[in-house]
Structure 1
Amino acid sequence: MRIGITCYPSHGGSGVVATELGKLLAERGHDIHFITYDMPFRLGRFHQNIRYHGVEAHRYAVFKYPPYDLSLASRMAQVAKEYQLDLLHVHYAVPHAIAAVLAKQMVGDHLKVVTTLHGTDITVLGEDPSLRDVIRFGIQNSDAVTAVSDDLVRQTEELFCVNKEIERIYNFVDTRVYYPRDVEPLRDRCCEKTEKLLLHISNFRAVKRPLDVISIFHRVASEIPARLFLVGEGPEMPKVIQRVQELGLDDKVVFLGKQDEVAQLISLADLLLLPSEKESFGLVALEAMACGVPTIASNAGGIPEVVTHGQNGFLAPVGAIEEMAQYALMLLRDDALHQNFSQAGLDRVKQEFCGLKIADQYEQLYAKVLSR
């Protein structure tokens, strides 16, 4: 198959999944064409079956803002015609599904559109009345629609009342990249042997509740030797730094900024903290599980579909800082329990979230769409 993929190429779960899916499909012999405004950061090394096509939105005097969505649609149509694409697989309804539908109208009905919903386009943009109709239009006019969790399927159907079948296909990890690594020498340089290492990775927006992360860690560190690694950047970071200073945790919290490759960092950790207010899937929790690291998380959104409470992690209500801290201490103090959780997570990744299994599901969906 000849497949065009459009996603946000910057850091973020949707871009990671879209790029990794494209790489897996290319390994299976499909021709993959990434159509984005920048090279996806996870695209990595050259592959003979992968091509990148940039999108440029030029400024014109009559436009207050560069018309990116129109430029994207035009570029999609150009690539579809030149390379005889069979379908466009777009990640996010706005603007990608809208641009793909427009490109299909320019090229012809033989070009199919598959839209994958990742969450923000539904849970955040969908709450904006000015965007609701256009998001619904993108969903309704796609040839197939998928969502990354059952919870997101439910939210989409409730919010948009669409008469469109939405198939749940989970996110995944490449277990050739995410696996428990031998990082003992590196860990010895990062923290004391007696210290437990906790980790949080996010874009540090308020919805991720990074201040809760600091509060949970403060309670843990008051009872056992511990250190916290923070990976990522975002608008809440100044508040996080201030809270760390107020609590006197400067020597225990390490700010690592954005990191392109996090598999080794995750393997360093004993626990991942994910107390998000909203999370359509929780890809970072899945990445942690694949590295043998249990997660302490909120029971928001799709997280319970990834983290099984009491088996490979612990879940608590959003904002339940004390409860999450107690769960963290339980795991950090009991090596046998921690090992059981770690192994249960590895087993679940292989059974439910293996990249090869998810790629099979997408291939079957593509074939069904193209056979209509």
Structure 2
Amino acid sequence: VNCDLYVRDADAAQRREEFASPDERILVHLSNFRPVKRLTDVVEIFDRVRKKVPSKLLLVGDGPDRSKAEWLAVQKGIHDHVIFLGKQDRVQEKLAISDVMLLPSELESFGLAALEAMACKVVPITTRVGGLPEVIEHGRNGFMAEVGDIDTMAQYAIDILSDENRLRIMGQQARAWAQARFCASKIIPQYEEFYRRVLERSS
């Protein structure tokens, strides 16, 4: 992750005003909208959160399940609060204005989307699949639940979004974790040193 690019920048507060009023929280989901990403679960989770916490949902990306998610948002009466942004070149600008990322995927390889969010001080709420348990320390810098457990993921979101201080601290911990373990500026020199040692041994 490029931690210089994925950062909560100075203009984030101003950009946030385009999407939400000052009393609203922002949840975000970023994917290719394929069935494995369970986009309708994202809408279901947000529907539960919205009943307890004034909020908006930003959906970044495009793909085959977009129309299902749009229809579900209409059915639930929350379409005015669900913002479909389509594909974005500068996703870090949307992450930087968000509070929580929802990632209820069935499959996730490395968990790059969660890491990019964490670098922007966004608290990830994900499923316990693929590489996500390597990226998230449950209860410290994010939350994990089982695939399809919409109620638990919604409750995690409600709890953290209702506690300003805890949200801020977890966001800071998420950023610190991403910086310490996954930032390109840290990782690349480690790889270079590793290869240098290997080459020295073989010569």
TM norm structure 1: 0.52
| 1:363–1:248 distance in 2 versus 1, CA, 3 Å | same
Quote the residue 1:175 is aligned against. 3
Say yes or no: does 1:339 pair with 2:160.
Answer: no
Supply the distance in 2 between the matched residues of 1:315 and 1:295 (Cα, whole angstroms).
8
CA offsets per residue over residues 303-331 of structure 1, 9 Å max, x none? Answer: 01111100011111111100000000010
- Corresponding residue of 2:17: 188
- 1:130-149 superposed Cα distances (whole Å, 9 cap, x missing partner): xxxxxxxxxxxxxxxxxxxx
What pairs with 1:289-304 in structure 2 (closer than 5 Å)? Answer: 289-304=118-133
Letter of the structure 1 residue corresponding to residue 7 of structure 2: Y
The answer for the alignment partner of 1:320 in structure 2 is 149
Q: Which moved more, 1:192-201 or 1:358-367?
A: 358-367
**Hey, what does 2:108 align to over in structure 1?**
279
Match of 1:266 among 69, 84, 95: 95
Return the alpha-carbon distance in structure 2 between the equivalents of residues 181 and 327 of structure 1: 26
- Secondary structure, in 3 states, of the residue corresponding to 2:156? helix
SS in 2 for 1:363: helix
* Matched residue SS, 2:85: strand
- From 178, 181, 186, the equivalent of 1:352 is 181
Partners of 1:207 and 1:233 lie apart in 2 by 13
What is the CA–CA distance in structure 2 between the aligned matches of 1:180 and 1:303, rounded to whole Å? 22
| Greater C-alpha Rg | 1
For 2:194 and 2:31, locate their aligned partners in 1 and report how far apart those are by CA, in whole Å: 31
1:256 to 85, 92, 95: 85
User: Structure 2 CA distance, aligned partners of 1:179 and 1:301?
Assistant: 25
Q: CA deviation at 1:362?
A: 3.3
TM-score (normalised: structure 2) = 0.93
Higher relative contact order (CA 8 A, sep 6+): 2
Q: How far, CA to CA, are the matches of 1:181 and 1:219 in structure 2?
A: 30
Deviations 1:181-239 (A, max 9, x none): 23112212221111111000000111111111000000001112111000001111111
- Could you tell me which runs of 5 or more consecutive residues in structure 2 were left unpaired when the two chains were aligned: none
Structure 2: distance between partners of 1:357 and 1:228: 33
| Distance in 2 (alpha carbons) for counterparts of 1:231 and 1:246 | 21
* Alpha-carbon displacement from aligned partner over 1:115-171 (angstroms, at most 9, x marks no partner): xxxxxxxxxxxxxxxxxxxxxxxxxxxxxxxxxxxxxxxxxxxxxxxxxxxxxxxxx
Residue among 122, 136, 142 paired with 1:307: 136
Shift of 1:363: 2.5
Aligned length: 200
Q: Distance in 2 between matches of 1:268 and 1:218?
A: 20
1:246 Cα deviation from its structure 2 partner = 1.2
1:216 aligned onto 2:48: no
How far did residue 351 of structure 1 move?
1.3
Residue in structure 2 matching 1:226, options 34, 51, 55:
55
Residue 366 of structure 1 deviates from its aligned partner by 4.6
Query: Is 1:362 paired with 2:191?
Result: yes
The one-letter amino acid paired with 1:174 is N
Q: 2:65 aligns with which of 232, 236, 240?
A: 236
